[in-house]
Amino acid sequence: MDVLKKLRKLIWDESAEVFTDEDLQEFLADAGNNVYKAAAICLNIVRANPEKLRSFAVFTYEDLDNAIKYYERMAGGTTKTIPLKKVY
């Protein structure tokens, strides 16, 4: 499986509803080509941008947090999620 396809599978965006291939290539580059680190970056972006969450309506913030923590561990790092609080 190629890296982009694996990344899309990890972030539940197989039909490219949320991120373009160019977006994912940039996140992979930022993550040193570590697909798990890139997945954590992508899901942190989804958590922080409610307009992207429409495509993730079946997932809760807890689901996203757990996935981010898991991918960070798989990437060999520590969890760096940003605590969210509602401001409305």
Distance CA 67, CA 49 (A): 17
- 5 vs 77, residue with greater confidence: 5
Instruction: Choose among 29, 34, 30, 25: nearest CA to 76.
Output: 34
Q: Using one digit for the tens of pLDDT, what is the confidence trace for 19-70? A: 999 999 999 999 999 999 999 999 888 887 767 766 666 677 777 777 888 7
Unique residue bearing structure tokens 């969890």: 79
Distance CA 34, CA 36 (A): 6
pLDDT interval class at 87 (50, 70, 90): very low
Quote the distance between the C-alpha of residue 12 and its chain's center: 9
pLDDT at 21 (0 to 100): 94
pLDDT at 78 (0 to 100): 58
* In contact, 34 and 65? CB cutoff 8 Å: no
Q: What is the mean pLDDT of residues 5-27?
A: 91
Positive or negative: CA dihedral 19, 45, 63, 50? negative
